[in-house]
A and B are shown apart, each in its own frame.
Chain A
Amino acid sequence: MAARITRQVRRKQPISVNIDGEASRAYAGETVASVLLAAGVTVFYRTRSGQPRGPYCNMGACFECQVKIDGDWQRACMTVVEDGMNITTGARKSAP
């Protein structure tokens, strides 16, 4: 599982997001990818054939970190977390 670095780092008061219906802690400025990894999420989405996928490039190029945020597919590594976001992980892509 991922861990936040705390030495020499000060974050603001935690905020809260829902990951698959469960409340989880997040900090202002974090990307959704960081919040999910820190919460132990590994499978961000599933391909059409059902294969699990998770972040690869962490810079917006690969589209492997997609999750549903408040119902829309987004790249988790390029989305800054907001209080109260509803994040769905592991959803499967449907045929185009």
Chain B
Amino acid sequence: MNTELAIIGAGPAGLAAAEIAAARGIDTVVVDEQARPGGQISRQPPADFAVENWLPGSIYKPVKQLLAGAGAPGATRWLPQTTVLALQHDPAAPLPHRYRLLLNNAGNTSELEASCVLIAPGCYDMPVIFPGSNLPGVMAAGGIQAFVKSQQLIPGERFLFVGSHPLQLIVADQILQAGGQVAGVVFAQRLSALWSLLKSAPLFIRHGAKMVYFTRALIRLLLKRVPIYFSRTVVQAHGDQQLQNVDIAAIGSSGTIQAGSRRNIDCDRLGICFGFLASSELARQVGARGRWSAAGGGWIIDHDPWMSTDLPGLYVAGEITGVAGADASICEGRLAGLGIARELQKIDAASAARLAQRTRTQLKSANLFAAKLLDLSYPGRKLLQQLMTEQSMLCKCEEVSIADFAQCLAENPFINDANAAKLLSRAGMGLCQGRYCHYHIAGLLAETRGIRERQIKPFNARFPAKPLTIKSLLDKRDDQLP
């Protein structure tokens, strides 16, 4: 089957674009891996739950507004619980066949062709590698948050949060409010860095709701006497079969971890919150031009003012263009929607430009806030690499340790791209397809070879973008989608 527009991802960016596409009468299919639209920021509870007062915070208002019309049967076709395995571009094919998507829904594969594609896949928590980082109980802070927001589950008893991103204060607060215990929140930055964000008057004026929300969470934690540590980091997680306690240590003024300052904190869940990586694999697979941003999500994708990539008809919006949060994603989704409408001649260029004007102003302001936040929260390669002791797992899937990888680089002195390093070391060959080691492999290669991360060619993003059984491929249904 085919469509004018395929949107990959039903988070803020995808929803904003879908809204515009629907209003302009563009035939649209929205594909998303979750059961309900919303993305990670507004991951909805299951339809079988009735939740009163869901995500009451004012920061969730814009996304909740977008959600109001999303997912309902109508002109837009919604494909939930569906993964895009492959995205191909055929420049010679006539319009509706220009892009081909191979989809997987619960083991049933099918094909979708589209004139235009918007890739809005969002991001995931940046993994951080240290001894014990793979113990059950060590989790992404965003993963913990999704259990609370969506599944209405407190996924543990006693939580410790470590990282460099202020989101951890919000997740810690949500855990407390849901009835869990919080053993502490550990920031790598100095206290003064956080203060600089809180006291920035221009940010308060333009982004008042966000700042108030954040400050309230902080105050609630302090009132409950949750210890908040600064200039400290996790160095090791301990436990037999399951996390039992965590060592944290001080970071000296030069950025060096002070081994002698270790202290141990009991917890059964450790939330890791050092920022986010963009999910750029489908865009890389289809061949869109991108670049490296160490602080902004690793490999991100380039675009023009209408969010078009260098491939005709291929658009990107949201975190894939550089991690900047939901407000910026909504703006980019709108711009992409208008850009696509323009390309498909559903709106004339002058009206599109006029309609885009306000969104562009909002985007500028959202990006300023995002830049400030990235500045504050990027942990830096020096800290990340100090955590990776020799025995820690670089590639958790294939169990390639930091020492294994270092040895491989030492034995092959001419290797300096991620793909070659992967073939030789097996790091990145597992089921997560490098999502959890790629960023660090780039950092390690850069460090060892004395080059810049942006000079390192990223992993080839192969088909299938997520593993599936051979059986589901053989069962491919070429008939129509629902």
- State the A residues within 8 Å of B (CB): 1-5, 7-12, 27-31, 33-34, 37-38, 42-44, 47-49, 51-64, 66, 72, 77-78, 80
B107-139 vs A, Cβ < 8 Å mask (1 yes, 0 no):
000000000000000001101000000111111
Q: Tell me whether B51 and A8 are in contact (CB under 8 A).
A: yes
Q: Once the chains bind, are B134 and A51 in contact (CB under 8 Å)?
A: yes
Are the C-beta atoms of A51 and B399 separated by less than 8 Å? yes
Set A7, A30, A58: member contacting B46, Cβ < 8 A: A30
B443 within 8 A of A: no
Do the beta carbons of A34 and B153 come within 8 Å of each other?
yes
Kindly state the separation between the CA atoms of A9 and B45 in the bound complex, as whole angstroms: 10
Interface membership of B140, Cβ < 8 A: yes
- Residues of chain A within 8 A of B127, CB atoms compared: 56, 62
Interface residues of B in 231-279 (CB under 8 A from A): 241-242, 268, 279
CA gap between A11 and B156 in the complex, in Å: 20
Contact B134 A53 (CB under 8 A): yes
Please list the residues of chain B having a beta carbon within 8 angstroms of any beta carbon in chain A.
33-35, 40, 45-53, 81, 83, 124-125, 127, 134-140, 142-144, 146-148, 151-157, 178-180, 241-242, 268, 279, 396-397, 399, 430-432, 435-436, 466-467, 469
Q: Give Cα A72–Cα B33 distance, bound, in whole angstroms.
A: 19
Chain A positions within 8 Å of B143 at CB level: 55-59, 77
Quick check: A52 and B241 within 8 Å, CB to CB? Answer: yes
| B153 near A2: Cβ-Cβ < 8 Å | yes
**What are the 9 A-B residue pairs with the smallest beta carbon separation, nearest first?**
A29-B46, A54-B136, A58-B143, A29-B48, A28-B48, A42-B242, A8-B52, A10-B50, A63-B431
Flag if B153 contacts A60 (CB, 8 Å): no
Kindly state the separation between the CA atoms of A4 and B147 in the bound complex, as whole angstroms.
Answer: 10
Which residue of A2, A10, A47, A48 has the most chain B CB atoms within 10 A of its CB atom?
A2
Q: Knowing A8-B51, A43-B242, A56-B143, say if A1 contacts B157 (CB, 8 Å).
A: yes
Q: Which of B35, B45, B47, B242 contacts A52 (CB 8 A)?
A: B242
Q: Which residues of B sit under 8 angstroms from A29, Cβ to Cβ?
A: 45-49
Determine which of B146, B153, B432 lies in contact with A5 in the assembled complex, contact meaning CB atoms within 8 Å: B153
A-B contact pairs, 8 of them (CB 8 A): A1-B157, A4-B152, A5-B178, A10-B50, A30-B153, A43-B136, A51-B134, A58-B144
Q: Write out the residue numbers on chain B whose beta carbons fall within 8 Å of the beta carbon of A80.
A: 35, 46, 81
Q: Which of B268, B399, B435 contacts A62 (CB 8 A)?
A: B435
Partner of A42, one of B34, B241, B397: B241
Q: Are B430 and A63 in contact (CB under 8 A)?
A: yes
